Amino acid sequence: MLQFIKYQGLGNDFLMVDARSSGDDAELGFTPERVRRLCDRRFGVGADGLILALPPRVGGECRMRIFNADGSEPEMCGNGIRCLARFLADSDGDQPGRSWQIETLAGRIVPELQGGGLIRVDMGAPMLEPEAVPTALPMGAAGLPQGVIEAAGEQFTVGAAGMGNPHVVIPVADLEAIALEAWGAALEVHPAFPARTNVHFVQVLSPDHLAMQVWERGAGPTLACGTGACAVLVVCHRLGLCERSARLDLPGGPLLVEWNADTDHLFMTGPAEAVFDAVVAPELWDGGGEMPEPAGAAAAVPEATVAVDCATTCVNGCIRPEACASQEAQDRVAALLASSSLDDLVALATNSLEARTRARVTRHGGSGV
């Protein structure tokens, strides 16, 4: 049974899966089709994407993989990495000042827990070389890919930037006047962007205050996009429309973005909140393919690659009892199953869910549910 926790950052919402004690990613079974089913807001749980917290590979503390609601896998996500940091803090009881070295397809990203439920993320440097975005737009006078492109029967004067993932930015006089659905969908797949692109319309309210609307690659209209907010600030600053630091108003709320002149790094600050804990119904998981832990899978996976940490895994709920390397843990699971009624097991699961929720509420200074 797949356990997940739903998190959101400014309404950009994700299913968070703790796979930190897993071995081979492929074994987890998150196929594009299954991700689509889980993220579907009618037939599934519903989310803009799904995030896997995984064991590190290159010296970081944790590795993050993100999947868009359409099943595609982008390189990075801003709101998502704030949600991951909040999840790590919720799980491990971390306090403000704690930061994490997170491995992503866009390189090492460093979120830091702030007070007041905020997370400040070192998003790294923007990518402004056309091939790095990637885009076919030529380098323009402002020092970034620029041009006039046509889509949905309209002409758009655009700038582009990469944050590990591609973004096209269109300054407009009035956000109310844009046709987000029609223009966003057409620009997402414009041939000037070989890997597709995220699309952002921005209105300058003042040199340190911008408002934007988002159409995301692989997710459509969303309430917020963190990598997009960084790309918007970079493009607007290079076009002389704003300062190096600004508040960005998104439909889901504000982000603060600063572009450090010395390090060339962008720093994004905003909230991230847990929404609920849950378990996916086997029917939903099964819908399109075999479960990740079909009987006998243990035999197919060489012992060495599946370092299951029973002490942690069993406490959080065993995910692969048949593949557990530890006979002792297997015996414990078998004894528990043999000596417990279904009601006992359900009560056990409910209690651990309640314990985690109480811990979260207490941490937020609440009096408990």
Binding site for ligand ZDP (CB under 6 A): 12, 49, 68, 74, 77-80, 165, 198, 216-219, 222, 225-228
The answer for 183, left when phi > 0, alpha when psi is -120 to 50, beta otherwise, is alpha
User: Which residue lies nearer to ligand ZDP by CB, 79 or 213?
Assistant: 79
Question: Is the Cα torsion angle 211, 64, 261, 114 positive or negative in sign?
Answer: positive
Closest by CA position to 207, among listed 234, 237, 229, 235: 237
Please report how close the Cβ of residue 344 comes to ligand ZDP at its closest, in angstroms: 40
User: Which residue lies nearer to ligand ZDP by CB, 64 or 113?
Assistant: 64
Please report how close the Cβ of residue 256 comes to ligand ZDP at its closest, in angstroms: 14
323 — phi, psi (to 5°)?
Answer: -110, 10
Question: Is the Cα torsion angle 89, 94, 100, 103 positive or negative in sign?
Answer: negative
Please report how close the Cβ of residue 156 comes to ligand ZDP at its closest, in angstroms: 19
DSSP string covering 70-111: TS---S--HHHHHHHHHHHHHHHT--TT-B--EEETTEEEEE
Q: Among the options 77, 230, 242, 310, which is catalytic?
A: 77
HEC profile of 271-290: ECEEEEEEECCHHHHHCCCC
User: Which residue lies nearer to ligand ZDP by CB, 68 or 203?
Assistant: 68
Please confirm whether the linkage preceding 138 is cis (ω < 30° from 0): no
Give the Cβ contact number of residue 129 at 10 Å: 12
Please report how close the Cβ of residue 9 comes to ligand ZDP at its closest, in angstroms: 7
Question: Is the Cα torsion angle 289, 295, 301, 304 positive or negative in sign?
Answer: positive
User: Which residue lies nearer to ligand ZDP by CB, 74 or 130?
Assistant: 74
Task: Tokens 């049974």: give the residue.
Answer: 1
Please report how close the Cβ of residue 69 comes to ligand ZDP at its closest, in angstroms: 9
Whether 77 is catalytic is yes
Whether 236 is catalytic is no
Please report how close the Cβ of residue 102 comes to ligand ZDP at its closest, in angstroms: 13
Q: Among the options 225, 230, 314, 324, which is catalytic?
A: 225
What residue is closest to ligand ZDP based on CB? 77
User: Which residue lies nearer to ligand ZDP by CB, 212 or 318?
Assistant: 212
Distance CA 264, CA 46 (A): 36
Q: By three-state DSSP, how is residue 262 classified?
A: coil
User: Which residue lies nearer to ligand ZDP by CB, 79 or 91?
Assistant: 79
Catalytic residue IDs: 77, 225
